[in-house]
Amino acid sequence: MNAMLITGGAGFIGSNFLSAVMKRYPRLEVYVLDAMTYAGHPENIAPEIRASPRFHLWYGNICNAELVSDIMDHVDTVVHFAAETHVARSIFDNWVFFQTDVMGTHIIANQVLRHRKRIKRFIHISTSEVYGTAISEPMDEDEHPLMPLSPYASAKCGADRLVYSYWKTYDIPAVIIRPFNQYGPCQHLEKCVPRFVTSALFGEPLTVHGDGSAARDWVFVDDTCRGLVAALEAPLDALLGEVINMGTGIATDVLTLARNVLDITGASQSLLEFIEDRPGQVDKHIAATDKAARLLKWKATTDLDTGLEKTVEWYRAHEAWWRKQEWMKHVELTLSNGRKVSH
Ligand SMILES: NC(=O)c1ccc[n+]([C@@H]2O[C@H](COP(=O)([O-])OP(=O)(O)OC[C@H]3O[C@@H](n4cnc5c(N)ncnc54)[C@H](O)[C@@H]3O)[C@@H](O)[C@H]2O)c1
């Protein structure tokens, strides 16, 4: 591996992954293509990385095929994170989700195909959201049906299956990773964990959807980045066309998560506030983890309390980073009964 394209490398997981690969591969040339939407920030990329001669930051859109092609002329590995990612936002304005997540992935996959001789490995970042809610547990890559429940989830499901079909039809060197719910440094305030953490730090209400019983498989982002490095290094033949979950195999409900955040920050439990459930809510996600263990020799190792402590520490130390996002912390939704709710 000599040169890698990371799409969405200025976003939450992408920037954490970028740091991990710059450190692990001291000679690797790295190209980041990022449109710097409200979710992407150049300051997510450490100054020493930005200053490195082997780092190349391209401000641009994955939907620009010519641009993507120009960058792919230089690389042998592609890791594709770029997407619109917020479920609540996809409920009131979903056009851009289908544009970026489906059509953008179409362009990336087409360009991987055009550059088939150069590109040795294409890692597509999908999501656990493609499954919908768990109808069998744990959620298995090859058995659990794909029943996306929100426009975001359905757009990502389209992208996931598009990449799979390109592997099957054209034999592109694709591997599909389905991370479960991520949390950690540099995550946008609109997402559940940073919203809870920053509210707790400022003594504001932590708004919990429904009764808080919706459960997720929470994965600390460093663990996922380690898993993605494993996906770069595992023998390719065993991975081609495969879908691999990245989860812990443990589900924790949102109310427990909120209570843990209040404990860790030392804030009062009285800050909990319950609001109407979100449309398209997933009741439960819990990952089957044996395929990742078998193919990648990977498992998540950070328990939820430790991951939350590290996350709280990071948000305490980076107020200037997240203060500017306060105005986007909540999304106003109109429910089917006409009521407006701030999510
Ligand atoms: N955060 C999670 O819990 C989670 C869980 C599973 C899977 N994922 C997937 O992981 C990937 C990264 O998620 P994240 O949480 O880091 O997202 P994010 O919203 O923090 O970052 C997305 C990045 O993509 C960039 N981007 C958006 N549209 C673009 C376009 N058209 N062209 C180029 N760049 C564009 C943004 O500027 C941003 O830097 C996504 O594909 C997401 O679906 C996320």
Counting ligand 1 atoms within 8 A of each CB, the residue from 18, 32, 64, 81 with the most, and so the one to mutate, is: 81
Give the Cα separation of 123 and 135 in Å (integer).
27
Distance 243 CA to ligand 1 centre (A): 19
SS3 content of the chain, % helix, strand, coil (to 5): 45, 15, 40
Residue type, 57: L
Q: Kindly report, residue by residue over 106-132, the tens digit of the pLDDT.
A: 999 999 999 999 999 999 999 999 999
Domain with 135, as residue range(s), is 3-184+219-246
Torsion sign (Cα): 28, 83, 304, 190 = positive
329 in any annotated domain: no
Both tokens assigned to 248: 């812990």
Mean pLDDT of 31-49: 97
Statement: residue 101 has pLDDT above 80: yes
Find residue 209's DSSP bridge partners. Answer: 275
Is the distance from the beta carbon of residue 107 to the nearest atom of ligand 1 less than 6 Å? no
Structural contact between residues 3 and 78, judged by C-beta atoms closer than 8 angstroms: no
pLDDT digits (tens, 9 = 90+) for 191-247: 999 999 999 999 999 999 999 999 999 999 999 999 999 999 999 999 999 999 999
Is the minimum distance from the CB of 61 to ligand 1 under 6 angstroms?
yes
Whole-number pLDDT of residue 269: 96
Q: Is residue 174 part of a domain?
A: yes
Residue 100 and residue 82 in contact, taking contact as beta carbons nearer than 8 Å:
yes
Distance from Cα 51 to the centre of ligand 1, integer Å: 23
Q: How confident is the model at residue 138 (pLDDT cuts 50, 70, 90)?
A: very high
pLDDT in tens, 168-180: 999 999 999 999 9
CA 96 to chain CA mean position, Å? 17
| Ligand 1 pocket residue status of 159, Cβ below 6 Å | no
Residue with tokens 């009764």: 211
In a domain, 104, yes or no: yes
Q: Is residue 110 part of a domain?
A: yes
What's the structural domain count of the chain?
1
Please report whether residue 70 resides in a domain: yes
In contact, 279 and 337? CB cutoff 8 Å: no
Rounded distance between C-alpha atoms, residue 282 and residue 277, angstroms: 10
CA distance 198 to 190: 11
329 vs 343: CA distance, rounded Å = 8
The tokens describing 335, both together, are 């429910």
Note whether residue 224 is domain-resident.
Answer: yes
Residue 260 covered by a domain:
no
The per-residue pLDDT for 221 is 98
- The closest-lying atom of ligand 1 relative to the alpha carbon of residue 40 is 39
User: Domain of 103: which CATH number?
Assistant: 3.40.50.720
Element (H, E) at 207: strand 206-209
Give percent of the chain above pLDDT 70: 100
Q: Per residue in 146-165, pLDDT tens?
A: 999 999 999 999 999 999 99
10 close to ligand 1 (CB < 6 Angstrom): yes
The answer, yes or no, to whether any atom of ligand 1 lies below 6 A from the CB of 36, is yes
CB atoms within 10 A of CB 116: 14
**What would the two tokens of residue 231 be?**
């996906």
On whether residue 293 sits in a domain, the answer given is: no
- Hey, whose CA ends up nearest to atom 30 of ligand 1? 61
